[in-house]
Structure 1
Amino acid sequence: MTYHHGNLRKALLDRAAHVIAEQGIESLSLRALARDLGVSHAAPSRHFADKAQLLQALASEGDKQFIDYIFAAAEAAGDNPLERYAAMGKAYIRFSLEFPAYYKTISHPDVMAHADAALRATGEQRRAIIHDAARAAQAAGWLPDEATDDVVIFSIATVHGVAGMLTDSLHGPKHASRDTDKLIENMVRLIIDPAHPQKSFPGKTGKARK
């Protein structure tokens, strides 16, 4: 891999994304990145003090890309809040498949546990967008008596679990022969079915929305 003078920071992030996608976060090291890019082992320190700082930068960029991705999916779905929320759920899973490095970074517990201000800000923005979309879907008839926090937790847990199964080495190969688009459609339909919103998420009723 080559890079133009003065663009080492981007080259480090690009190479880090490639390593994470192929080998996982645990295989990442600044020294190895420097070797791969043909620079001295001290060169990355001009941009990142350590691996944690590089991961935070990559996660911040990943969060921005993720927000744009799910928002674009919602916009493409039209004005129906139920369709928009379902589209966001499908986009969540597809993002993990199309941008595995970003997804693995923003969902890694160690990265989020040491998040800097920039990463915390994009994380809060992401959560606010999902909660707002869930509230709009509830106002349109989807599980109106459930607590919004509960339906968001259930929604994220489901799509995160599906994404994990499709992207990890243990479960991914088992589903390789399946129609991925159809699988994603079916999984999200179990969360929210725009055609039959009251049949989704068969939980308890009577809770006040938060």
Structure 2
Amino acid sequence: MLRSSLLLLLIVAVLSPALGCDWLRGYRDLRNRTVVLIQTMGGPMAVQDPTDYFPYNLYRQVHSRGVQVQLWFIRENLQHIHDLYHRSNCSSAWNQQKRMEFMQSVERQIQELSSCLKEPDVAKERRILAKQLRRFYRKLRRQSLEPSGSVGSHQPGSDPGSNPGSDSGSAGCELLRKVTLTHLNRIDFLRNHAYQRAGSPGPKR
């Protein structure tokens, strides 16, 4: 009996941050608004398959990890996305008002997720996953934010997005938008999975 009680207390201690996570239990309108903004920010999205620029294997790995790791992984993806849009030069391809609203929406979610995390709990797994994520986003940045105006023409030694006076080109901008939408859809799927694992339903926001 004592052993069962101790085990129950341990489980509650591990899950309690996730159970009290407002982002995990609610904010559906905010998440939906983020998707709508990325869909309507520009014109028709690139038809190019985003597979080369999307970490499908990392999402599959994280799907079987603990809730805290999943929440951390979601936050890291949103932070990378926010950074890309902050340094993007897509003024001719995107509605800039919607771009700013999109960034604000993503930033709000990052803040909410940060309040849900117990950083030491994910420190070991974070190092490996963070390195792999950076590699994917570095590749996406090179292909989408270069100032040359076309995907795939990055010049060696140049820093994509480093020239604020140059437009990144519609092909690169729309590739970034399509990959972002894929991330948002997979993040929502991962959130649903984490929510089911965390248990206890709460009020929607």
TM-score for the superposition, normalised by structure 1:
0.30
Structure of greater relative contact order (alpha carbons < 8 Å, 6+ residues apart): 2
TM-score for the superposition, normalised by structure 2:
0.31
